[in-house]
Structure 1
């Protein structure tokens, strides 16, 4: 099940470093190719909170089997896509069919690993949940550089088929209840789909279209808000809601959802910012970007045995506080960023982030889900996982807005100092004009214009770099708040017997 879980999460970011190649192969504009990632996220974020209900109707093993088989078939179709429209449709199908594999693993772990065994299980699942999106750009860049973008999707075929065949034979922990379909909250499902789908679209596309100034973004934002209010009312008033919001009455679960949300911001926003910086400012290729961010995954893997040992001896709340605090510190260590930063300068901040991810995610899983009553576990797990993806979506949208707005601000501030009274600028411009005059002999106007364009490029590059530092400051503040709230969590004693009623 962890294999399916890993590839479903990996595919969120596996295309991020290769969007330019996909756009070139399908003759798509940058705006169109961005929807390749957006469509997957929209579909996945809709199905994740539905997974608890679907697992009860179909049983865990058959839901996972159908999810893995559908994900594999959709991956094949993505690799065969003939234009950008077909790619967007198949990516949405891939996200919707594969999304149920993510929360199902969390609830199944509590059934398979009772008592103290849950520590190791949570460490493994927590590592995979943050490692997969972290490694996505690295694996995607390597595949695109050595083969072609089509293999970003074809690599899912063998593990997907393996999971679809093996899981039904090995995972026998509950029985299907098809009668639940008759009492399903179809109105709640529809409201939730509209709410999350429109919200995800607004968050993904809003920064590119200047938010509420665009009529489509304005319409989807209002639709999401109204549908969200309707979904909240329906979930609290219906006898068998699609998502169990009453689980939020548990202090640990409510705080755990918030910590999952903040961790999602940190993981996904950093995965968004780092490749973007390396591509736009440094001009790195997809493979170079992948190799530059690879160190995060290495240090997270190194943290797994350390966490497993400490989790048996130290209160999980303090391990989580350490993880969230170190994550925030790693974000702060990105703030001195300059246009010269490459893999060497990124190594230490990314190493801290990789180590911190293990200590931030794994104890959150145990403390959040471990204290719930077994009959609430399935439906609550979908909400818990939704918060991580929602945090990622909001974090990426916020960072994209910061990059857009603050770049203009920094550029204008830099431009204020680029005048005749600035001796450094005057000297630089004179040297540039002298070089360009040798290239454009007899055309001094062209040489002068070229020098001004080069000066503009330098100023814009520095403005961009300063903006990335601003984004990391905001993420640091989120983790500082989360770290301060950890002491409010209650200690959770591991269950003494198998959690059979959870399914």
Structure 2
């Protein structure tokens, strides 16, 4: 690789439309598999734990290690692409992701699986933001709107399909194939990208003057933050000394990172871009959509597994409607995107997401795929109308020179929203379940005539099975506890969906503050200017 700066800016007009579309589609394949793997294990953690003889707490790290590694590398992708070029960084990410996937499938114990999943997230994470920057370099005008729509669809559809694909693969084969399915698309991306994606040149001179202290501070800040968010609900937050320590370390490292990034001339992450209203609001909307995307993907399978007792495949089939309705909404969005102000389309998407959360709130313990159809359909359409315009309005007006670092920060906010959203939902579920259970228990006493009749009926049923009176009473009380706990859990899920609804109502109200953007010329400046 040459270390010379490019002689002239990338000229998208020099490429035929068919070549640009094929190159962009190849990049999207890489982004899709990297995003899919965030959630592909979520419905199969029990199978993975059983296969590797691991407990529940250890198995949870199969997902946590991937998220921590990915969230660290995403904001670094802008600087890395300037050093190695988009072409070679994407190729290296695809190769590393593919090899790590192979290692995950061959893991021999839970410790090796956690290490390989961290490698998979770290090596493949750069593919996600690089697709955003490449799309804005390749396309302009109406083509850019379609490209942004495609990216937005993938960004929200891939995590949604994760539990579906994972549950289906685990059911028909084994959990090993959750990772082996990445091999063919990974090799395809690694081969094709160097041949077609030549939008910038590497500049290895940037390695010498890089702000490595900021990189270290950012890694410590994000890594400890993700650990705190993932493990906090499980260990009762700050009552655990480890969680308290990682929270303090994350906070101090974060303050140091922000201070240094605002002082140095060439920061690793361009936080100064947040001074621009559209970019700051866009990052906030990315954060909120991250809450909606990842938290609902977390809540729905959890409800179906814990309350309804669904298998991994049944869970996948029950949540599949979200993806179907999002796909169906793509042509509708594409039709309106070139005719209607994108801000109003984004308001429709965010508002529809709030409505879908409201439709989740009448949840009862017997809800399944049929009852979940309408709220999931609304959520699928909402995702398509909320994410793509956010991408275009936030990144579409930025000069190519700023796109790389801005895209990393924009994508980081979505993943942070997901991490914080899941942690908050887990805490709400725990606290509200205890509250609802205690409230239900207050009414389950000897003065409750309906309860007395139910206890007598259930006790007689156990007596008919040959159990003594005391045994029948004990069994009846156990069954009563299970029923009360099930109802308390169900009510807590409904409460959590309402909290997410409030977040989207706030976001919807803020959309008019964004400016209508006019995209700059496709090649107005060198993508590597700095």
Q: Which residue in 2 is equivalent to 1:446?
A: 471
How far off is 1:493 after superposition? 1.6
Q: Which residue in 2 is equivalent to 1:303?
A: 329
Correspondences of 1:62-461 after superposition (within 5 Å): 62-441=88-467, 443-461=468-486
**TM-score normalised over the length of structure 1:** 0.99
Q: Which residue in 1 is equivalent to 2:42?
A: 16
Q: Residue 400 of structure 2 contacts residue 523 of structure 2 at CA under 8 Å; is this kept in 1?
A: no
Q: Distance in 1 between matches of 2:188 and 2:93?
A: 12
Mark the CA change 1:239 to 1:148 in structure 2 (over 3 Å): closer, same or farther.
Answer: same
Which of 494, 499, 502 is matched with 1:474 structurally?
Answer: 499
Q: Residue 173 of structure 1 contacts residue 500 of structure 1 at CA under 8 Å; is this kept in 2?
A: no
Q: Distance in 2 between matches of 1:181 and 1:290?
A: 45
Q: Distance in 1 between matches of 2:431 and 2:55?
A: 23
How far off is 1:88 after superposition? 0.5
How far off is 1:502 after superposition? 2.6
**TM-score normalised over the length of structure 2:** 0.94
Which of 19, 25, 33 is matched with 2:59 structurally?
Answer: 33
Q: Residue 61 of structure 1 contacts residue 167 of structure 1 at CA under 8 Å; is this kept in 2?
A: yes
Q: Residue 17 of structure 1 contacts residue 140 of structure 1 at CA under 8 Å; is this kept in 2?
A: yes
Q: Residue 138 of structure 2 contacts residue 522 of structure 2 at CA under 8 Å; is this kept in 1?
A: no
Residue 71 of structure 2 corresponds to residue 45 of structure 1: yes
Which of 500, 509, 512 is matched with 1:487 structurally?
Answer: 512
How far off is 1:215 after superposition? 0.6
Q: What RMSD in Å do the two structures reach over aligned CA positions?
A: 0.8
How far off is 1:500 after superposition? 5.5
Residue 487 of structure 2 corresponds to residue 462 of structure 1: yes
Residue 490 of structure 2 corresponds to residue 502 of structure 1: no
Q: Residue 401 of structure 2 contacts residue 525 of structure 2 at CA under 8 Å; is this kept in 1?
A: no
Q: Deviations over 1:312-337 (max 9, x none)?
A: 00000000000000011101110000
Q: Distance in 2 between matches of 1:351 and 1:23?
A: 32
Q: Distance in 1 between matches of 2:277 and 2:301?
A: 37
Q: Distance in 2 between matches of 1:472 and 1:460?
A: 19
Q: Which runs of 5+ in 2 are unaligned?
A: 1-26
Q: Distance in 1 between matches of 2:60 and 2:125?
A: 20
Mark the CA change 1:62 to 1:69 in structure 2 (over 3 Å): closer, same or farther.
Answer: same
Q: Distance in 2 between matches of 1:40 and 1:426?
A: 51
Q: Distance in 1 between matches of 2:285 and 2:524?
A: 24
Q: Deviations over 1:236-286 (max 9, x none)?
A: 011111100010011000000000000000000000000000000000000
Q: Distance in 2 between matches of 1:215 and 1:239?
A: 38
How far off is 1:75 after superposition? 0.3
How far off is 1:499 after superposition? 5.3
Q: Distance in 1 between matches of 2:160 and 2:462?
A: 43
